[in-house]
């Protein structure tokens, strides 16, 4: 995958519109103490198209000029990296309404377009430099921006002497994809365990650490030597960074770390600081509106409301065609037509020889190394959030194996958006009827393990999942507020509903849950044994009723290739997120699945 496609993946993932519930906080147009907002710009050109430019990250010179002109007389105070570091270390507070301007990749426009504007308005900015690109040791910069379109060391030195420009490492050789699985997907080099084809193995922890720290040290050394500075900041390519790689950067002498993120608001105590990615030739008015929105709403109060399916990779492997890659293509085609925006993928499957998995791990045998490719293809082709579902009963006998399993899972799949911890029929006993302190403590440890290996630029969620009967629902409702304190979502299974009476019973008991708790509730309807049109109609009505009463996180399970046509036919309207009939597509012209 090219640099452009990798970057496109991350920007679309971060900035694509999704149905969300937001809660307004105090109507205050000022940031709190030691908070700041960071913007991420790229190339600046005089010929950027108003819409649909070849470079979705480029901004027209006029738009940037108008924004800086407004910024220079506004209440916002452009700050430096040193000021942010001083605030983190408790030396000096940030000025009120601090804003940091960053420009990635070291394009020539940093010198020809941005630098003159910084001098004109006396505004500070940070340029993130890929040192191998400037040295000419890597052609990635020319591939991305064209020949002779990168700054030179002499130009960087001139800007350094002005006192208006600071420089950060954008890595030496990490602004590219590396092989991430046997199917040849290229994924961000900074957070991916590299796959070695000839040896049929993945990079181990020591090899990963040495590759990343060596790269960052080279980049820092080149910047320090050429510019006579002490580089202290890493701005990660594609915003791809985990707390693990953040720690490696600190070991390399880069204590300040920047990613991307849905919100550009940062606090002094944050580890990696997020930046708001500027796309689509944003106007000054658009950027001003972003600042206004960020001071009124906080991403911690945004709960995504998504429509989901649950799927087993064994369904791709067990088809008569025996062409797994083709089956994956069919699955993605069907799901794209269905237009859901989140998938749950089973990580463990029963077999005649015992439980098997679909990624390399130290706990269970691997049936096929397929999970990483499925997640990557789902995210880059369909921009889906992908959750790894873990059936917890496999760990009841040996709970200590769970941490190892999750570590292996996350190291091999940094694109995961969350973990779905499925306790099945033991959810009630462990978390509702009784508060199993051992499991609560264990799952908090698992959460910390997973988050340490997850991409900081994307929101990572922990889902508690299981079955709750109608008779258990009153007790469940009483515990729901408590559970949502520990978990991002609570996912409850509803059995196949055969008639409207059963459906109404569930709706009646769900409808009076407070809305803020409904926003954290995922309701999963079992459709495995539905074969009659009347039962499909009951399922359709039930999902529609869930939406009507304010439960917008709805899910069907299991999704199979064999049932794909029936799902498209009977459940498209309640489960699809497609709001335009003009973009409806039926991938089953003859009404048949695989």
Q: Helix crossing, 500-510 with 473-486: angle to 10°?
A: 50
Inter-residue contact 246 to 456 (CB < 8 Å):
yes
Ranges assigned E (strand) in 181-285: 186-188, 195-196, 201-202, 233-235, 256-258, 265-267, 272-273, 276-277
- The CATH classification number of 35-172+209-300 equals 3.20.20.370
Judged on CB neighbours under 10 Å (0-12, 13-18, 19+), 284 is: middle
Nearest CA-CA partner of 374 in 339, 410, 343: 343
What mean pLDDT value characterizes the chain? 93
229 pLDDT band, cuts 50/70/90, is very high
Ranges assigned E (strand) in 322-433: 342-346, 348-349, 356-357, 385-391, 418-422
Q: Which CATH topology does 303-583 take?
A: TIM Barrel (3.20.20)
Nearest CA-CA partner of 315 in 299, 331, 335: 331
Inter-residue contact 563 to 527 (CB < 8 Å):
yes
Q: How many Cα atoms within 13 Å fall on the side-chain side of residue 464? A: 26
CA of residue 570 relative to chain centroid, distance: 31
Q: What is the mean pLDDT of residues 65-89?
A: 97
Q: Tell me, what's the pLDDT at 296?
A: 77
CA distance 197 to 120: 53
**11-25, 58-72, 267-281: range with lowest mean pLDDT:** 11-25
421 pLDDT band, cuts 50/70/90, is very high
Whether the per-residue pLDDT at 1 is higher than 70: the answer is no
Q: Tell me, what's the pLDDT at 20?
A: 45
Share of the chain above pLDDT 70, in %: 93
User: Please, where in the chain does CATH 3.20.20.80 lie?
Assistant: 303-583
**Cis peptide bond N-terminal to 558, omega within 30:** yes
User: Please, where in the chain does CATH 3.20.20.370 lie?
Assistant: 35-172+209-300
Q: Tell me, what's the pLDDT at 148?
A: 95
7 pLDDT band, cuts 50/70/90, is low
pLDDT tens, 92-137? 999 999 999 999 999 999 999 999 999 999 999 999 999 999 999 9
Whether the per-residue pLDDT at 594 is higher than 90: the answer is no
Q: Tell me, what's the pLDDT at 4?
A: 45
pLDDT tens, 316-371? 998 888 899 999 999 999 999 999 999 999 999 999 999 999 999 999 999 999 99
2 pLDDT band, cuts 50/70/90, is low
Query: Residues in the chain, how many?
Result: 594
Q: What is the mean pLDDT of residues 209-235?
A: 99
pLDDT tens, 362-377? 999 999 999 999 999 9
Cα end-to-end span (Å), the chain:
29
Q: How many Cα atoms within 13 Å fall on the side-chain side of residue 585? A: 9
Largest CA distance in the chain: 77
Q: What is the mean pLDDT of residues 72-84?
A: 97
Nearest CA-CA partner of 172 in 123, 120, 225: 225
Q: Tell me, what's the pLDDT at 9?
A: 53
Q: Tell me, what's the pLDDT at 437?
A: 86
pLDDT tens, 10-52? 544 444 333 344 444 444 578 999 999 999 999 999 999 999 9
Tokens of 338: 């269905």
């Amino acid at each position: 995958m090219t640099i452009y496609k990798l970057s496109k993946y991350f920007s679309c993932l971060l900035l694509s519109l999704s149905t969300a519930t937001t809660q307004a906080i105090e109507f205050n147009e000022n940031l709190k103490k030691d908070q700041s907002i960071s913007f991420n710009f790229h190339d600046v050109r005089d010929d950027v198209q108003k819409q649909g430019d070849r470079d979705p990250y480029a901004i027209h010179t006029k738009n940037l000029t108008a924004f800086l002109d407004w910024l220079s007389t506004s209440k916002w105070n452009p700050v430096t990296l040193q000021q942010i570091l001083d605030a983190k270390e408790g030396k000096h507070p940030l000025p009120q309404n601090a804003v940091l301007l960053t420009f990635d990749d070291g394009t020539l426009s940093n010198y020809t377009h941005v630098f003159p504007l910084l001098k004109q308005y006396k505004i500070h900015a940070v340029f993130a430099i890929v040192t191998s690109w400037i040295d000419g040791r890597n052609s990635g910069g020319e591939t991305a921006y064209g020949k002779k379109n990168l700054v030179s060391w002499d130009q960087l030195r001139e800007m350094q002497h002005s006192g208006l420009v600071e420089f950060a490492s954008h890595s030496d050789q990490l602004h590219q994809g590396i092989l991430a699985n046997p199917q040849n997907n290229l994924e961000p080099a900074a957070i991916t365990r590299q796959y070695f084809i000839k040896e049929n193995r993945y990079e181990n922890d020591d090899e990963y650490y040495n590759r990343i720290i060596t790269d960052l040290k080279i980049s820092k050394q080149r910047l320090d030597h050429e510019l006579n500075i002490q580089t202290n900041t890493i701005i990660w390519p594609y915003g791809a960074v985990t707390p693990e790689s953040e720690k490696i950067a600190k070991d390399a002498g880069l204590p300040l770390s920047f990613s991307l993120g849905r919100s550009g608001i940062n606090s002094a105590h944050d580890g990696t600081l997020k930046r708001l990615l500027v796309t689509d030739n944003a106007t000054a008015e658009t950027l001003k509106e972003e600042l206004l929105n960020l001071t009124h709403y906080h991403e911690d109060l945004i709960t995504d409301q998504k429509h989901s399916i649950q799927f087993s990779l064994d369904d791709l492997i067990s088809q008569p065609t025996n062409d797994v890659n083709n089956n994956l293509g069919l699955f993605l085609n069907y799901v794209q037509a269905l237009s859901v925006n989140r998938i749950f993928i089973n990580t463990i499957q029963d077999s005649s020889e015992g439980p098997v998995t679909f990624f390399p791990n130290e706990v269970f045998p691997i049936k096929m190394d397929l999970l990483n490719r499925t997640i990557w293809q789902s995210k880059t082709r369909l921009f889906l959030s992908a959750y790894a579902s873990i059936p917890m009963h496999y760990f009841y006998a040996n709970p200590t194996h769970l941490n190892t399993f999750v570590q292996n899972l996350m190291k091999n799949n940094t694109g995961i958006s969350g973990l779905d911890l499925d306790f099945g029929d033991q959810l009630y006993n462990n978390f509702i009827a009784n508060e199993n302190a051992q499991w609560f403590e264990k799952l908090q440890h698992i959460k910390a393990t997973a988050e340490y290996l997850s991409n900081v630029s994307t929101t990572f969620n922990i889902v508690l999942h299981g079955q709750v009967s109608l008779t258990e629902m009153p007790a469940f409702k009483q515990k729901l507020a408590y559970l949502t304190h520990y978990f991002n979502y609570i996912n409850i299974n509803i059995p196949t509903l055969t008639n409207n009476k059963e459906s109404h019973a569930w709706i009646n008991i769900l409808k009076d849950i407070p809305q803020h708790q409904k926003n954290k509730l995922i309701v999963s309807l079992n459709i495995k044994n539905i074969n009659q049109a009347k039962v499909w109609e009951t399922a359709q009505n039930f999902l529609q009723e869930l939406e009507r009463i304010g439960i917008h996180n709805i899910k069907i399970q299991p999704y199979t290739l064999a049932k794909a046509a029936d799902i498209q036919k009977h459940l498209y309207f309640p489960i699809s997120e497609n709001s335009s009939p003009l973009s409806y597509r039926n991938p089953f012209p003859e009404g048949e699945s695989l």
